[in-house]
Amino acid sequence: MRVPFEWLRELTGIEASVDDVATRLTNAGFEVGAIHRAGEHWDRVVVGEVARIDPHPNADRLNLPTVNTGSEEIQVVCGAWNFEVGDRIAFAPAGATLWDPYADEPVLKELKPTRIRGVVSRGMLCSTKELGISDDHEGILVLDADAPLGRPLAEALGGEVLEFELKANRPDALSVLGIAREAAALYGTKVRSPIPEARPNKDGSSESVVLGIEDAALCARYSAALVRDVQVGESPAWMRDRLEQAGVRPISTIVDATNYVMLELGQPLHAFNWDTVRGGFIGVRTAQPGERLVTLDGQDRELTPETLCIVDAEGPVALAGVMGGLDTEVTEKTSTVLLESATFDPISIRRTAHRLNLRSEASRRFEKGLPPELTVLALRRCVQVIEEIGAGRGEFLTADAYPAPSDPAPVSLAFDRIERLMGVAYDRSEVRQTLSALEFGLDEDGDELCVTPPFWRRDVTAPADVVEEVARLVGYERIPDTLPTGQVMDLAPGEIDERDDEVRDVMAGMGFAECVTYALTSEARMARLVPPDLLDVPPEAPLGDADAWAAMRETAMNDAGRTLTDRLLPLDREPLRLRNPLSTEENALRLTGLGTMLETLRANRRHADRDLLLFDYQPTFLARDGDLPEEPNFLTAVIGERVSASRWNETGTVELPFVRGVVDELLSRSGVPVAEASHDGLQHPTFAAGAAAAVTSKGRLLAAYGEVDAEVAAAFDLDERTWALLVDMPAVREASAGAPLFSAWSEYPSALRDLAIVVDAEVTQAEVQDSIQRAGRPLLQSARLFDEYRGEQIPAGKRSLAYALSYAAPDRTLTDKQADRAHNRVVRALQHRLGAELRG
């Protein structure tokens, strides 16, 4: 809300500077977002007089006014025509600084002499937009005839305007008077109320106005005043200036007067053309089925049954609190006006304004809840203003319906409640004085204080509210710094798992950069995780239907793939969708972070050709019927094709064992040792055939990793080999053995033996390792694979595996003979069980 400072001064008599007032009001809870200083940039703009207007020799649309600045006459070229010889206008000579009316953003620019169609222009007649007063760029600003010639415009027009960012709990502060009350309390001055005393209506003049409120819950009070001999025309300059400074566009006397009073007192008013209201009746009720109304904006609206309307004897004439009707609009021909000043139900107004997308200065005030006491005060003031500007003569109150009067309830609290809550003492006289300054009624009974809020402070209903009034008016500077004492908790519900930190640390330690990505995504983005020919579906259902997925589960996945689809990559589930998405690009909550991470990889690939190792560890959202969704933290990692090797420009290509190394490290650091996780081939459309694995422990899927299918990668604009890793961390936690336990090793030297064997290509490394472990007991300490070979030097269909074996006994140094004996047992077992041959 914009409050002209001079208006605030008028109501408070405060002498302090605008900056001081802004700071104190801000600290007291009325945040001044900006102080607009009209004329700040008008250093050379002056009041000028049009001395002569000549035609432009080369352009019919332009004219050549000569401006008298009091000291000289200057000819300019002008495109506006809304002025005459003798008018006082805002004149900017060359060298002045003005707002550029054609720029999208506010830009100041210096005015230079320019030649326009052959005539030199040495200045400019200004529009309000160029001066930064309003957005109006139609025609130049014509000043009052008594504007002082040659004086800086800032003196004639300027003034500071405070722009408040007001909170939802103080409808009373949506007015100059409301702000004035706060300011007066802060500065210890007295508010000069602009509201006149009541006066009796003249005998016999009162035409009857019949009021009918159907439901007091929807309209607590309806007050009306008749104004006769109405003169609709332009309002005087002082009123137009104030309205403009407050950001309201002047229209005509009656409308301007109602807006002026709304700004001043916070009560919205509406003016009906009484001549067009049928039956001398005004009622308030909800619309009946089929009723329509043409509103002031010319729209013919069908009224829904919950819409609160103002009706005359025959039907709706206005949307209560939101917008008037066209038929009863005040025009230049109107002779009698009925002023409406009412208290409507905030919720009803809010709903109607939202539904019709018609939020106005009036509806904003109604929906915060206005006090019924205000209606009659605002009418008096409005009629007084109308009479003052010569726009009619009226009654202060013609009719008033207030079916169920209510007063704000008093609030009781013990004096020491204030110190108990604030942690600092306030003495009683200070409390009394502060609350009195805010016009609260006070009553005391020993240590108990009974506070009656003024009618405009219906937000104060509980002791804490009263405490806040005292604390904020005295100032929060009073509050000292202390630290909370007392007991602390042992464990809180929903405590964050510290192991989540470790997951991030381990991944970062392995070279991955942590990403934090959006949870909002689109179904289309998730659908790109499956090759398009498998999911041939219409764009409106990009994730396909149950049949497509059933077929895919059957033909394109093995058991591991199906298990992966059940939870960790649940692309066949319905995602949670937004009812009001910002765009179709982010209309759903993610089922997996993989799509977003592939996009992130692609974006980074544009400026890096190696070491693209990224992970994301944020929730995904799995819907549950009638309950909140499950929000498991799945870890998603993606890896680009090349990683740095040991010298400056050496790179290696990522292969499956690279990713496996990451998985092993992460799982074992999370309490699932390598020996307890089994890795099996994974067939799933997101992953390349034969280059992916699923990790299970005790029958539960923990992770999946592998090369991303080339078609899927291409859908994300990636034309290189790309690797992905998905980990179900909650499942890993459940499979975890907890904190690692110490196991002792042999203190005696180990005997090392290498072993290279040739086996059928179908024999897996796991089988070989298993045989080695079994046969090597009890002396075998470890068997580390160090090479794999397929090629010319061994027969087709075979491969060679090489291991480094280490033997040791817990209680003695092994002799060569003992180590050989153990090693030979391993060799024989491999030959016997797996048909292995020793190599070279």
Partner 1 sequence: MQERLDALLSAARAELSVATDDAALEQWRVTHLGRRSEVTGLLRSVGSLPREERRAAGQAANAARRELEAAFETRQSELRRSADGAQVDVTMPGYPVRLGSLHPLTRTLREIRRVLAPLGFRAVSGPEVEWDRYNFELLNIPADHPARDMWDTFHVDDKARPGELLLRTHTSPVQARVMEQIQPPVRVIVPGKVYRYEDRSAKNEAEFMQVEGLAIDEHITMADLRGTLTHFVRMMFGPDRELRIRASYFPFTEPSAEADMSCHACGGKGCSVCGGTGWIEILGSGMVHPKVLADVGYDPDVYQGFAFGMGVERIAMLKYGVTDIRSFYRNDLRFLRQLR
Angle between helices 428-437 and 176-187 (to 10 degrees): 150
DSSP strand pairing (219-228 vs 337-344): antiparallel
28 near partner 1, judged by CB under 8 A: yes
510 near partner 1, judged by CB under 8 A: yes
Taking the C-alpha atoms of residue 722 and residue 304, their distance in angstroms, rounded to an integer, is 57
Angle between helices 559-566 and 546-555 (to 10 degrees): 150
Shortest distance, CB of residue 360 to partner 1, whole angstroms?
A: 14
Binding mask 558-597 for partner 1 (x = CB under 8 A): ------------------xxxxxxx---x--x--------
Shortest distance, CB of residue 515 to partner 1, whole angstroms?
A: 4
Residue 210 or residue 578: which is nearer to partner 1 going by CB?
A: 578
Residue 5 or residue 30: which is nearer to partner 1 going by CB?
A: 30
Binding mask 39-58 for partner 1 (x = CB under 8 A): --------------------
Shortest distance, CB of residue 305 to partner 1, whole angstroms?
A: 17
Residue 115 or residue 607: which is nearer to partner 1 going by CB?
A: 607
31 near partner 1, judged by CB under 8 A: yes
- Encode 69-137 in three state secondary structure: CCCCEEECCECCCCCCCCCEEEEEECCCEEECCCCCCCCEEECCCEEECCEEECEEECCHHHHCCCCCC
* Residue of the chain from 29, 150, 236, 531 that contacts partner 1 (CB under 8 A): 29
342 near partner 1, judged by CB under 8 A: no
Residue 53 or residue 421: which is nearer to partner 1 going by CB?
A: 421
The one segment of 100-108, 499-507, 558-566, 680-688 that binds partner 1 by CB under 8 A: 499-507
* Residue of the chain from 238, 518, 748, 786 that contacts partner 1 (CB under 8 A): 518
* Residue of the chain from 134, 433, 517, 818 that contacts partner 1 (CB under 8 A): 517
Taking the C-alpha atoms of residue 320 and residue 366, their distance in angstroms, rounded to an integer, is 10
Of 206-235, which residues contact partner 1 (CB under 8 A)? none
Residue 346 or residue 730: which is nearer to partner 1 going by CB?
A: 346
Residue 61 or residue 607: which is nearer to partner 1 going by CB?
A: 607
* The pair of three-digit structure tokens given for residue 744, joined into one six-digit string: 């002792």
482 near partner 1, judged by CB under 8 A: yes
Taking the C-alpha atoms of residue 726 and residue 566, their distance in angstroms, rounded to an integer, is 13
Residue type, 488: V
Residue 245 or residue 587: which is nearer to partner 1 going by CB?
A: 587
Shortest distance, CB of residue 576 to partner 1, whole angstroms?
A: 5
* Residue of the chain from 113, 509, 532, 661 that contacts partner 1 (CB under 8 A): 509
357 near partner 1, judged by CB under 8 A: no
The one segment of 116-124, 291-299, 497-505, 771-779 that binds partner 1 by CB under 8 A: 497-505
Of 402-461, which residues contact partner 1 (CB under 8 A)? 420-424
List the one residue out of 571, 517, 523, 518 whose CA is nearest residue 687: 571
481 near partner 1, judged by CB under 8 A: yes
Q: Yes or no: say if 338 and 282 are a contact pair by the CB < 8 Å rule.
A: yes
Q: Yes or no: say if 596 and 464 are a contact pair by the CB < 8 Å rule.
A: no
Question: Among all chains, which residue has been given the structure tokens 């049009």?
Answer: 50
524 near partner 1, judged by CB under 8 A: no
Of 703-722, which residues contact partner 1 (CB under 8 A)? none
Per the omega criterion (within 30 degrees of 0), is the bond before 778 cis?
Answer: yes
* Residue of the chain from 465, 502, 676, 720 that contacts partner 1 (CB under 8 A): 465
Of 752-791, which residues contact partner 1 (CB under 8 A)? none
DSSP strand pairing (613-619 vs 513-515): parallel
Q: Give bridge partners of residue 782 from the DSSP assignment.
A: 806
Count of positions on this chain that bind partner 1 (CB under 8 A): 95
Residue 28 or residue 131: which is nearer to partner 1 going by CB?
A: 28
* The pair of three-digit structure tokens given for residue 726, joined into one six-digit string: 């998905």
The runs of H, that is alpha helices, within 305-360 are 346-356
List CB contacts of 23: < 8 A, sequence separation 6 or more.
32
Shortest distance, CB of residue 431 to partner 1, whole angstroms?
A: 14
List the one residue out of 299, 325, 300, 298 whose CA is nearest residue 311: 325
492 near partner 1, judged by CB under 8 A: yes
Residue 730 CB coordination number (10 Å): 15
Q: Give bridge partners of residue 159 from the DSSP assignment.
A: 38
List CB contacts of 698: < 8 A, sequence separation 6 or more.
676, 735
* Residue of the chain from 479, 737, 761, 838 that contacts partner 1 (CB under 8 A): 479
The one segment of 151-159, 254-262, 372-380, 605-613 that binds partner 1 by CB under 8 A: 605-613
Q: Give bridge partners of residue 110 from the DSSP assignment.
A: 97
Shortest distance, CB of residue 17 to partner 1, whole angstroms?
A: 16
Residue 71 or residue 580: which is nearer to partner 1 going by CB?
A: 580
480 near partner 1, judged by CB under 8 A: yes
Residue 200 or residue 480: which is nearer to partner 1 going by CB?
A: 480
Of 249-278, which residues contact partner 1 (CB under 8 A)? none
Of 312-341, which residues contact partner 1 (CB under 8 A)? none
Q: Yes or no: say if 344 and 321 are a contact pair by the CB < 8 Å rule.
A: yes
- Encode 183-204 in three state secondary structure: HHHHHCCCCCCCCCCCCCCCCC
List the one residue out of 244, 246, 35, 249 whose CA is nearest residue 160: 35
By the 10 Å C-beta count (0-12 exposed, 13-18 middle, 19+ buried), 303 is classed as buried
Shortest distance, CB of residue 191 to partner 1, whole angstroms?
A: 20
Shortest distance, CB of residue 19 to partner 1, whole angstroms?
A: 11
739 near partner 1, judged by CB under 8 A: no
Q: Give bridge partners of residue 728 from the DSSP assignment.
A: 634
Q: Yes or no: say if 438 and 459 are a contact pair by the CB < 8 Å rule.
A: no
The one segment of 22-30, 106-114, 192-200, 239-247 that binds partner 1 by CB under 8 A: 22-30
Shortest distance, CB of residue 813 to partner 1, whole angstroms?
A: 36
Taking the C-alpha atoms of residue 47 and residue 454, their distance in angstroms, rounded to an integer, is 46
Of 144-173, which residues contact partner 1 (CB under 8 A)? 167-170
Binding mask 73-112 for partner 1 (x = CB under 8 A): ----------------------------------------
181 near partner 1, judged by CB under 8 A: no
Taking the C-alpha atoms of residue 158 and residue 449, their distance in angstroms, rounded to an integer, is 47
Residue 462 or residue 737: which is nearer to partner 1 going by CB?
A: 462
End-to-end CA distance of the chain: 90
346 near partner 1, judged by CB under 8 A: yes
Residue 225 or residue 422: which is nearer to partner 1 going by CB?
A: 422
343 near partner 1, judged by CB under 8 A: no
Taking the C-alpha atoms of residue 55 and residue 53, their distance in angstroms, rounded to an integer, is 7
* Residue of the chain from 146, 357, 496, 538 that contacts partner 1 (CB under 8 A): 496
Taking the C-alpha atoms of residue 644 and residue 651, their distance in angstroms, rounded to an integer, is 4
520 near partner 1, judged by CB under 8 A: yes
Residue 618 CB coordination number (10 Å): 18
The runs of H, that is alpha helices, within 246-345 are 253-265
Specify the 3-state DSSP secondary structure of 25.
helix
Taking the C-alpha atoms of residue 241 and residue 4, their distance in angstroms, rounded to an integer, is 10
Q: Yes or no: say if 297 and 323 are a contact pair by the CB < 8 Å rule.
A: yes
811 near partner 1, judged by CB under 8 A: no
Of 619-678, which residues contact partner 1 (CB under 8 A)? 619, 621, 625-626, 628-629, 631, 643-644, 646-648
* Residue of the chain from 347, 541, 674, 761 that contacts partner 1 (CB under 8 A): 347
